[in-house]
Amino acid sequence: MINQIFRRLISKWISLIKIRNIPFKNQHKLFFSSPLPIVGAFITGLCLSLLFAACSSTPTVNAPNPSARSVSNSASNAKVVRFGYQKSTILLRTKGVLEKRLAPEGITVQWTEFQAGPQLLEAMNVGSIDIGPVGESPPIFAQAAGASLTYVVGTAASPAGSAILVPQNSQIQKVTDLKGKKVAFQKGSSAHLLLVQALEKAGLKYTDIEPKYLAPADARAAFVKGSVDAWVIWDPFYAAAQEATKARVLIDGTGINKQGGYYLMTRKFVTENPQIVKAILEEIQNLEEWSKTHREEVAKTLAPVLGIDLETMRKATNRRTFGLVPVDDNLINLQQGVADTYYKLKLIPKEVKVKDAVLTKEEYAAFSPKT
């Protein structure tokens, strides 16, 4: 008993130290905002734990929750779900559906915002978050960098929700005009893939343009200043830029993008908490289905949260396709095609096997909602 407590405290102590030394580049601070007296807390916790262990010969067992929607059927269930999100997926946090579902089980939800998918998956890889939605490209770059991530469910493609923008008075009239031009986008994002695919469709090579790897906020600043000739971006940044900068759409993803994004989790969280995962995905699916027929309410909910005027938010909402997609052979093959494309262009250092980050059909069946 004492040895088990000691090992758990040692593990927690090491985890805290690792998290405290995470290098985030231009990222939002995680939930640590002030110095933690790690060593003192560790010693105090150890002493108290040993004292309680010595005074009790029987472990305390929580009484089972009789609720029909209970998710607490395993001793390893998490008590906190650390959720990463982006502005494009902020509706889930705003509606509070996960808190309502999980609170009766004593499970809380912690939210951390990221500018884009690559940064979100970096945080997941170092153990700072458990789950988050991203486009199709970030998982490929993360896997190539050695990250251990797991595809949980896919999201429907919204090809009209991302585009290549140019200034209103730009001489660039077609994709071939991008040759030799500076193009801003988030490296390893869905915008990256849209650019690669658009160039290929137009008969250009990736080396024909001058890429400027910038996060959305920095890319917008460069676009407004005229430091770049074009900007590849997704909603709601896309809709906001159209309104504020009067940017012209060179091309959007219609007829190019064939897949959406994914919700990913750490493999540890998925395997240890299948019932929690099931509850989370059911609530996400319910919200997606509700959003399909309540677009006006979605726009009115998000406009003030994102600081975007209602008409612009309507535009972004109407371009979006809501819904979840199961991780099946078709989706895996599409994602493998993305990985092969990036490797062929030497944008990732090694070949990536998407199946290495995929669960078995039986494991998916344990928590996947009907889609």
| 175 close to 250: Cβ distance less than 8 angstroms | yes
Give the amino acid at 346. K
Where is average pLDDT lowest: 50-64, 267-281, 346-360?
50-64
CA 66, CA 72: separation in Å to the nearest integer? Answer: 10
CA 14, CA 24: separation in Å to the nearest integer? Answer: 19
Express each pLDDT in 275-293 by its tens digit.
999 999 999 999 999 999 9
Q: For a pLDDT cut of 90, what percent of the chain falls above it?
A: 76
Give the largest Cα separation in the chain, rounded. Answer: 79
Express each pLDDT in 288-339 by its tens digit.
999 999 999 999 999 999 999 999 999 999 999 999 999 999 999 999 999 9
| 101 close to 70: Cβ distance less than 8 angstroms | no
pLDDT tops 80 at residue 50 = no
Q: Please state the three-class secondary structure of the chain as a single string.
A: CHHHHHHHHHHHHHHHHHHHCCCCCCCCCCCCCCCCCHHHHHHHHHHHHHHHHHHCCCCCCCCCCCCCCCCCCCCCCCCEEEEEECHHHCHHHHHCHHHHHHHHHCCEEEEEECCCHHHHHHHHHCCCCCEEEECCCHHHHHHHCCCCCEEEEEECCCHHHEEEEECCCCCCCCHHHHCCCEEEECCCCHHHHHHHHHHHHCCCCHHHCEEEECCHHHHHHHHHHCCCCEEEEECCHHHHHHHHHCCEEEEECCCCCCCCCEEEECHHHHHHCHHHHHHHHHHHHHHHHHHHCCHHHHHHHHHHHHCCCHHHHHHHHHHCCCCEECCCHHHHHHHHHHHHHHHHCCCCCCCCCHHHHCCCHHHHHCCCCCC
pTM of the shown model? 0.77
pLDDT tops 80 at residue 64 = no
Express each pLDDT in 144-156 by its tens digit.
999 989 999 999 9
